[in-house]
Chain A
Amino acid sequence: MTVLAVAEHRRGELRDVSHELVSAGRELADATGSELHVAVVSGDVESFGDELTREGVDAVHTVDYGEEFNHDVYVQAVEALADDLDPQYLLLPHTVNGLDYAPAVAERLDYPLVTDAVGLEADGSLTVTREMYGSKVETTIEVESDHAALTVRPAEWPAAPSGGDATVEPFDVSIDEGAVRSTVTGFEEAAGGDVDISEADVLVSVGRGIEEEDNLDIIWDLAEALDATVSASRPVVDNGWLPKNRQVGQSGKVVTPDVYIAVGISGAVQHVAGMKGADTIIAINKDPNAPIFDIADYGIVDDLFEVVPALTEQFGG
């Protein structure tokens, strides 16, 4: 039997999640006595293919068609690969591009789909662990089927080390261009501007808990007292209260300051992806169960509207 993982790349580089899929895939392959195959579609498939011969990979398939991700091409290519390899499990990344083709592939192949897996257990049947309610609970879903398509959350599995000895083989697919009904015309950097939060040593980062735009004053005051830079989680930027270049997280910037003070930020996985590399993480939040406390070094469980001004005062603000 076979487990098939599909790599992800963008603008000439394989993305980290590709190597994490190899680790997750190897885990499943070991549990089911299967081979792990990896596929890469579009781009510089030759060099991608070499890079994907990681430990634990049995075979790499390359589909040489076009440069960048196009979901219509990916759906056709992965469907053809699945027809050929009949994989028991299909592992795809739970990324913006993964979400743009995984559901369509699963539908075409008639594979049940479970998204955003954070744990996989194949013991007779497959059990997938995933989160609900913004990481407040974990749930398990059992798949009563011989096949499944799974999207795997980035940064949950370690990257598989390089140095495997898999064969790299071109896979021929005749892409039906009439069925390609979307065209990628370019890319745009969304987060330019005057401040580069990724350069800051100290960040005071504000989230949904601030409630209203006018309340941001207490954040600016604290940042000034600490000689820190202000950043934000997604809801604050979505509301237009701070510009996109101050957004920390998966769709914003990845920051690694010495000190990161999260104020009124619950710590959704997309946010944590952007700041978990900070040396010291401090969380101020009234919800003791907020996931931010799982990664914080220091915390205060209280009303930010009382704690933040009191902290500013400590620094003469």
Chain B
Amino acid sequence: MKVLVTVTDVAVVDDEFEIDGLDVDERYLTYELNEWDDYAVEEAVQIAEDVTDVEVVTVTVGPERSEEVIRKALAKGADRAVRVWDDAIAERDLLDAETKAELLAAVAREEEPDLILSGVQSGDDSFAATGVTLAEKLGDEWAAVVNQLDLDQDEGLASVHRELEGGVDELTDVELPAVLTIQTGINEPRYASLRGIRQAQNKPLDVKSLEELGLDGSALESPLRWTATYEPESEGEATVFEGAPDETAGELAGVLRDEGVGQ
């Protein structure tokens, strides 16, 4: 059995930042493994530990920078990695969900996995649409926002819980092959062991261009244009107490007493 996991590095913005053109100035960005993908990787690795003969392959659309988070996924137990990148991709300022899914689908068609796990969304642009778009492109079944997964390989079925709003789970059986988008909290992602980190250095990480995936520039065509980025005007009318912690705590205590709290 083969499990393909989509892995992306996401930009996290510092508390204080400036915008440069369409995006936050690079100086205020740090990159890390997308939180949802961390759970997806863990879920795949746990499947590989429970079932014999499972290969876990990660796939990333990202520049060389993203190899840091790919190695992290490999250190946690994925077997090998594919990274898709191309100068033509680098030129795009907006990589929308459809375009990303098109690239991932090309890799999935080569790999032919039984199961694809993808984070519900990425922490930076939060489109939350790549996984289901990918499923539709492949003609696979899918389930979005999964917080529990039981695989029945003999039946070719994934029994999942989908986390609906308001503390209610929907229980659904999904035919394989399928794409599941993984919600945080589904498991406890492990930390990479030192041994894992060492082994990850020697695991295969293939870089593929558009041409190597049998795609041309049309795969990147999109009618969506990113036209502006700005800081939203604060709607806040909060009274903010300033000063040393015991002073601000004292003022806040006054507010709480006026509200009748702690009397």
Q: Which residues of A contact B (CB under 8 A)?
A: 10, 69, 71-72, 94-97, 99-104, 106-108, 112-116, 127, 131-145, 151, 181-191, 202, 225-228, 234-235, 237-240, 244, 247, 250-254, 258-259, 280, 282-283, 286-289, 293-303, 306-307, 310-311, 313-315
Q: Is B231 an interface residue (CB 8 A)?
A: yes
> 1/0 per position for B236-256, CB-CB distance to A under 8 A?
111111100110111011011
Residues of chain A within 8 A (CB-CB) of B141 are 72, 181-182
Q: Would you list 22 pairs from A and B whose C-beta atoms are within 8 A, ordered by A residue?
A: A97-B164, A100-B145, A100-B162, A107-B136, A113-B133, A131-B126, A134-B13, A137-B24, A137-B229, A141-B224, A141-B226, A141-B227, A151-B129, A181-B141, A182-B175, A183-B173, A188-B171, A238-B184, A244-B167, A258-B261, A297-B237, A310-B246
Do A191 and B144 contact each other (CB < 8 Å), given the known contacts A142-B227, A259-B259, A296-B236? no
Chain A residue at smallest Cβ distance from B226:
A141
Interface residues of B in 134-168 (CB under 8 A from A): 135-137, 141-145, 159, 161-168
Complex Cα distance, B97 from A127, in Å, reads 17
**B17–A142 touching, CB < 8 Å:** no
Residues of chain B within 8 A (CB-CB) of A10 are 164, 168
Chain B residue at smallest Cβ distance from A305:
B245
Complex Cα distance, B22 from A311, in Å, reads 42
Number of A-B contacts (CB under 8 A): 272
Chain A residue at smallest Cβ distance from B159:
A185
Do A191 and B167 contact each other (CB < 8 Å), given the known contacts A133-B13, A298-B252? yes
Q: Which residues of B contact A (CB under 8 A)?
A: 11-13, 15-17, 19, 22, 24, 94, 96-98, 101, 120, 123-133, 135-137, 141-145, 159, 161-175, 181, 184-185, 188, 222-232, 234-242, 245-246, 248-250, 252-253, 255-256, 259-262
Chain B residue at smallest Cβ distance from A294:
B236
**B17–A100 touching, CB < 8 Å:** no
Complex Cα distance, B161 from A301, in Å, reads 39
Residues of chain B within 8 A (CB-CB) of A287 are 15
Residues of chain A within 8 A (CB-CB) of B101 are 107
**B231–A137 touching, CB < 8 Å:** yes
Partner of B223, one of A143, A151, A286: A143
Partner of B245, one of A97, A293, A303: A303
**B129–A99 touching, CB < 8 Å:** yes
**B174–A181 touching, CB < 8 Å:** yes
Complex Cα distance, B174 from A184, in Å, reads 9
Do A289 and B173 contact each other (CB < 8 Å), given the known contacts A96-B163, A104-B133, A226-B262? no
**B129–A113 touching, CB < 8 Å:** yes
**A314–B128 touching, CB < 8 Å:** no
**A251–B163 touching, CB < 8 Å:** yes
Partner of A307, one of B120, B229, B248: B248
Question: Shortest CB–CB separation between residue B258 and chain A, in angstroms?
Answer: 10
Question: Shortest CB–CB separation between residue B177 and chain A, in angstroms?
Answer: 10
**A116–B128 touching, CB < 8 Å:** yes
Complex Cα distance, B172 from A231, in Å, reads 29
Complex Cα distance, B168 from A28, in Å, reads 32
Chain B residue at smallest Cβ distance from A108:
B136
Question: Shortest CB–CB separation between residue B211 and chain A, in angstroms?
Answer: 24
**A133–B185 touching, CB < 8 Å:** no
Having A103-B136, A140-B227, one finds 8 other A-B pairs with CB under 8 Å, namely A103-B131, A106-B129, A183-B173, A227-B261, A293-B240, A307-B245, A313-B249, A315-B262
Chain B residue at smallest Cβ distance from A147:
B223
Residues of chain A within 8 A (CB-CB) of B188 are 239-240
Partner of B224, one of A142, A181, A184, A190: A142
Residues of chain B within 8 A (CB-CB) of A283 are 238
Residues of chain B within 8 A (CB-CB) of A185 are 159, 171-173
Complex Cα distance, B224 from A104, in Å, reads 18
Question: Shortest CB–CB separation between residue A132 and chain B, in angstroms?
Answer: 5
Complex Cα distance, B170 from A296, in Å, reads 33
Complex Cα distance, B218 from A154, in Å, reads 34
Partner of A289, one of B16, B94, B172, B229: B16
Residues of chain B within 8 A (CB-CB) of A71 are 142, 144
Which 7 interchain pairs have the tightest Cβ spacing?
Answer: A191-B167, A310-B249, A314-B253, A238-B185, A103-B132, A100-B144, A145-B223
Complex Cα distance, B98 from A141, in Å, reads 14
